[in-house]
Chains A and B, each alone.
Chain A
Amino acid sequence: MFFWDSLHAALMMVIGFNAELLHIVGVSLNVSFWSTLAACILGVPAGFAIGIGRFRGRQTCITFFNTMLALPTVVIGLLVYSVLSRRGVFGALGWLYTQKAMIVGQIILITPIVIAFTIAAVSRIDERYRRTALTLGASGWQSAMVILHEARFSIMAAVVAAFGRVISEIGISMMLGGNAKGFTRTMTTAMALEYDKGEFVLALALGLVLLAISLGVNMLLGYVQGRTRR
C-alpha cells in the first residue's frame, strides 16, 4: 500500500506541475543540456578525426578513451574540486558549488563517451563509402562528410547515451554542486536526499520524470531514424 500511495501522490505531483519538482527538473535539464552540448562540440570532431585518421598512436588514443569510459564520477568530482576549490588553480573563478562546476565535471565524464562511441561509429562505416566518394570526384573533406552522413545515427546514439549518463549521474552533481536547494539540486541529488529523509513522494515523482525524459529522448531518436530511413 505504501508504494501505491507514494506512486499516486508522485503522479499527482507530476500532473499538478509542482513548482519544486519543476525547478529541480529545470536545473537537471539545464546542466545536462550544456554539458552534453559541450561534450558533443569537443567529442564528435575528435572521435571523427581519430575514427577516420590513420596516424601513429591512433590505437593508443582509442585505448585511452575506452579506459576513460570507466572513470568513476567521484574521481572526476575530486579532480575538479581540487582545481576549483578556493586553493585550486581556478579557485578565483568562484565556480565551486555552482551549476558551472557541475557542467565542467560532467563534460569530463561524458566527452570520452562521445569520443569512444563516435570512433566506433565511424570505424564501422565501410571503406567503400570513402572510395566511392573519391572516385566520384569528392575531395578529402567531402568524402569525410559522406562518412559522417553514413554514421549520423550511431553518432546521435552516442549523444543520447552521453545525455543519459549525465542526467542520471549523482557523484559529480553532489560533490561539485553541493545539492543547494533552488541552485544546484538536480533530480538525482534530490532523490538521494529525499531517500535519506525517508520521503518517497518527491523521489518517486523525480524518478518518473527521469524515466519519461529518457524514454522521450530515445523515442525522438527512433523517430528521426525511422523518418530518414523511410
Chain B
Amino acid sequence: MSLYDLQNVRVSHDGRTVLDLAGLRIEQGRTYALQGPNGAGKSTLLSILAFLNAPHAGEVHFEGRPVSWNEPSLRVLRRDVGLVEQHPVMFSRSVRENVGYGLAVRGVDRERRAVLVAEALELVGLGHLAEAYAPRLSGGETQRVAIARALASRPKVLLLDEPTASVDTQNRVLIEQIVAELRDRGDTTLVLCTHNRSQAKALCPEFIYLDDGKLVTRARTNSYAGLVTAEDGRKWCRIAENFRVPVSACEAGRVQVSIDPEGVRLGKPSDTGPNRGPLSKVRLEGDMVSLSVELGYPLHVQMHLADFKAARLEIGDMVLAEISPEAVECLPVR
C-alpha cells in the first residue's frame, strides 16, 4: 500500500514555483533517496511529508486517506512521522529527556518511556550519554541523538535531511549503519535526502530525483534530441555541431538521448574535434560538484569534490567531455 500519495502538489513562494509534482508515491517499508541540486525543492517536499507545511495546491494522501491541513488532524499525522534535520537542535535538557520528549508529549508513562529511550539510544550507540547535557554534544553525537529522538516514538516514516552532511567520517559511517539497519528491518519507511550519490546508491533501493521543483528521471537534466549516424566505424548521436555522444543500442535516425551526469569525464581538450567547450557553471553540492559544459547545449556533469580539486578546473576553462557509451541511454522520440 502507498504510504504517501501526492497528486498535483504545488508550492510557490513569491510567485516562483518551488515544487510542482504531478504525482509521487512512497510505498510503506521502502527506503528512498531524495536527490537533486540545491533549490530543487527537496526541503519543501520533506516539510510536506512531515506535515509541517501545506502545499498551495494539490492533494496529499497518507495511508490512503486524504490529508486535511488543519492543526488537530496534522498533530495526529505528525506522530507517525519523524524528521531529522540537517542541523538538528537539542532542547536544553539531558539526552534522555530529549529522546523521551516525543513519548512524553504522547503521555507514555515513565517506565515505558525509560525502556523506549534506552532502546533508541542503544540503536545509535549512545546509551552511555543518556544523562549528558544535550546541547553540549558534538555535531555527530547531536545528529545521532536526533535520530534516536525521532525513532523513540516508533514513527511509520523517518525523514532524514542530509544527516551526514556536517559530521565527521566516523559519525557518517555510524549514521549510515543505522540507516542500513533500519532499512533491513523494513518496519519504517525511510526518506534519505542526500547529495552524496555513492551513499544514496549504497543505502537506498529507491530514488526520487527533483530538479527545479519537478520530479525527473536521473538523467533528465541531460536529455537531448539527436540524430544517430555511423561515423568512424562507430554509432554516434549528433546533438549539435560540436556535440556528439557514442551510442551502442540505438537505431539510426532521430532519437532522444539522455546522459548520466556521473558518466562524463572532463579532460584536457585536443585542438580539434567535438565535445570541446568552456566550463560555464560550477556548483558545490555536498561532497559532489555539479558542472556545466557549453557544447551548443549545456551538458551537466557530476563529479566528486576530490576529483574536481585534483583536476584544477575553473569557470571558462576549455574542457573535453569524454562520454562513455554506458552513460548514454536512447529514449523513444515523443
Nearest-neighbor residue (CB-CB) of A128 within chain B:
B89
**Minimum CB–CB distance for B88 against chain A, Å:** 7
Q: Which residue of B79, B89, B105, B133 contacts A142 across the interface (Cβ within 8 Å)?
A: B105
Bound Cα distance A171, B153 (Å): 57
Interface hits, B89-142 → A, CB 8 Å: 89, 91-92, 101-102, 105-106, 133, 136
Most buried by A among B81, B91, B149: B91
Please report the C-alpha to C-alpha distance between residue A136 and residue B133 in the assembled complex, in whole angstroms: 19
Q: Is the CB of B231 closer than 8 A to any CB of chain A?
A: no
B89 touches A129 (CB 8 A): yes
A35, B153: Cα distance in complex, Å: 44
How far does the alpha carbon of A146 sit from the alpha carbon of B106 in the complex, in Å? 15
Q: Which residues between 95 and 142 of chain A lie within 8 Å of chain B, taking CB atoms?
A: 126, 128-129, 131-140, 142
CB proximity to B under 8 Å, residues A215-230 = 228-230
Residue of A138, A139, A150, A229 touching B133 (CB-CB under 8 A): A229
User: Nearest Cβ in chain A — how far from B97, in angstroms?
Assistant: 11
Any A CB within 8 A of the CB of B85? yes
- CB neighbours of A126 from chain B (8 A): 89
> Which of chain B's residues have a CB closer than 8 A to the CB of A128?
85, 87-89
Q: Is the CB of B105 within 8 A of A135?
A: no
B82 at interface, CB cutoff 8 A: yes
Q: Does A149 interact with chain B (Cβ within 8 Å)?
A: yes
The answer to the question of B303 belonging to the interface, with a C-beta cut-off of 8 Å to chain A, is no
- Closest A residue to B102 by beta carbon equals A136
The smallest beta-carbon distance between A155 and chain B, in angstroms, is 13
Q: Interface residue tally of chain B, by bracket?
A: 20 to 34
One of B87, B92, B101, B136 near A136 (C-beta < 8 A): B101
A134 partner residues in chain B, CB cutoff 8 A: 52, 78
Q: What range describes how many residues of A lie at the interface?
A: 20 to 34
Interface of B: prevailing SS: mixed
Q: In the bound complex, do residue A138 and residue B105 qualify as a contact, i.e. CB atoms below 8 Å apart?
A: yes
Q: How far is the CA of A150 from the CA of B75 in the complex (A)?
A: 22
Number of A-B contacts (CB under 8 A): 55
* Bound CA span A228–B82, Å: 28
The closest CB in chain B to the CB of A137 belongs to B79
Given A137-B79, A139-B75, A140-B71, are A132 and B88 neighbors across the interface (CB < 8 Å)? yes
Given contacts A135-B52, A137-B102, A138-B105, contact A129 B75 (CB under 8 A): no
Instruction: Specify which of B71, B89, B133 is in contact with A132 (CB 8 Å cutoff).
Output: B89
Q: CB distance A136 to B88 under 8 Å? A: no
A131's closest neighbor in chain B, by CB? B52
A129 and B91 contact, Cβ closer than 8 Å, known pairs A134-B52, A139-B75, A140-B71: yes
* B92: A residues at CB distance < 8 A: 149-150, 228-229
| B245 surroundings in chain A (CB, below 8 A) | none
Contact B105 A132 (CB under 8 A): no
Given A137-B106, A139-B75; A132-B52 close (CB under 8 Å): no
With a cutoff of 8 Å between Cβ atoms, the chain A residues found around residue B81 in the complex are 135
B103: min CB distance to chain A, Å: 9
**Docked-complex contact A135 and B50, CB < 8 angstroms:** yes
How far apart are the CA atoms of A228 and B320 in the complex, in Å? Answer: 61
Given known A-B contacts A126-B89, A128-B89, A129-B89, A136 and B153 have beta carbons under 8 A apart? yes
Is B150 a contact partner of A136 (Cβ separation < 8 A)? yes
| Distance of B236 from chain A, by nearest CB (Å) | 51
* 20 A-B interface contacts by CB (under 8 A): A128-B85, A128-B89, A132-B91, A133-B101, A133-B105, A134-B52, A134-B78, A135-B50, A135-B78, A135-B82, A135-B83, A136-B82, A136-B101, A136-B102, A136-B150, A137-B78, A139-B105, A140-B71, A149-B91, A230-B136
Known contacts A131-B83, A137-B75; 20 additional CB pairs below 8 A are: A128-B87, A128-B89, A133-B101, A135-B78, A135-B81, A135-B82, A135-B150, A136-B82, A136-B101, A136-B149, A136-B153, A137-B102, A137-B105, A142-B105, A146-B91, A149-B92, A150-B91, A228-B92, A229-B92, A229-B133
Interface residues in chain A, defined as those with a beta carbon under 8 Å from any beta carbon in chain B: 126, 128-129, 131-140, 142, 146, 149-150, 228-230
